Amino acid sequence: MKKVFLFLFASAALTACVGSQNNEQAVVVEGENTEATAVEAVTSGDVVFVDLEYIMASSKLYAAEGKLLEEKMQAFEQKMITTQEGWAKKEQGLAAEYNKLQNDAAKLQEEYAKGLITTLNAQKKQEELQRKGESIQSRMNAFQTSVQTETTTLQAEEQQLAEEQVVLMNKFQNLSRRAINELNADKRYKMIVNAVSVVDADPTLNISDIVLKRVDELYVADSAE
C-alpha cells in the first residue's frame, strides 16, 4: 500500500508543483523513475528534475503525518477483511442451519407418509421445526440489519480516511509548489520536470534534495504557527 500511497502524491503533485514553473513548455516523455541524488549546485539555465515521490517519502510531513495515515489505512483495510470474513462465516452458518431444517422437514414428511410416526408425534416435531425456522429467520433478519449498520459505519470511516488523504496531499502540493517557486524565483532553471517523465539524465541535474530541504523548512515553519 505504501508504494500506491506515495504514487498518488507524486502523480497529483506533477501538474501543481512542476508544471507551474513553465506554463509555455510541456514535457511528455515516458520512462522509469530516476533515483534521487543529492545536488549541491546546478548551472543556471539548465533543465533539472525532481523526484516528488522521493521528496514526499523523505519529508518531515510524511514522517509526522503520512506514516500515521498510512498505518490507519492499513488497519482499516485489515478491518474490512476481518469484517467481511465474519459476515461470510455467519451467513454460511445460518444457511447450514436452514438447509438442515429443510432436510429434517422433508424426512419428517417421508416418515409420516410411510406410517413410521404417529400423527401426534408428527405434529409435535412439526411445531418444533417451525419454532426453529422462526428462530433462524429472526437471526437472519438481525444479521442483515447488523450488516447494514456496520456497512454504514465502514463507509463513513473510509470517507474520513479519503478526506485525510486529500488534505495531506494538498499540504504536500502546497509545500512543494512554494519550495520550487522560491528556489527558482530568479528563473535560474529553464524547466523543472518530474523524474517520472525522465528517460535518462545526468544525476547532477536532480535537485530533489534541495527541494526536500526547503519543503522541510517550510513544514516546520508552518507547524510552529
pLDDT by position in tens, the chain (length 225):
444 444 444 444 444 444 444 433 333 333 334 333 434 455 555 899 999 999 999 999 999 999 999 999 999 999 999 999 999 999 999 999 999 999 999 999 999 999 999 999 999 999 999 999 999 999 999 999 999 999 999 999 999 999 999 999 999 999 999 999 999 998 989 899 999 888 888 888 999 999 999 999 999 999 998
The length of the chain in residues reads 225
Q: What is the pLDDT of residue 52?
A: 96
**Residue that has been written with the C-alpha cell 501538474 in this structure:** 15
The β-bridge relationship of strands 47-50 and 191-194 is parallel
Q: How far apart are CA 22 and CA 47, in angstroms?
A: 11
Distance, in Å, from the CA atom of 72 to the CA atom of 194, rounded to the nearest integer, reads: 29
Q: Which three cell numbers stand for residue 159?
A: 470517507
Per-residue pLDDT, 170: 97
Provide the pLDDT for residue 202: 86
**What pTM, to 2 d.p., does this model score?**
0.73
Instruction: Write down the pLDDT at residue 34.
Output: 38
CB 45 within 8 A of CB 188: yes
The answer to whether residues 59 and 216 touch, using CB atoms and an 8 Å cutoff, is yes
Report the pLDDT value the prediction gives residue 45, as an integer from 0 to 100.
Answer: 58
User: Minimal CA–CA distance to 91: which of 156, 154, 146, 134?
Assistant: 146
Residues facing residue 194 across a β-bridge: 50
HSE-CB of 16 using CA atoms within 13 angstroms: 17
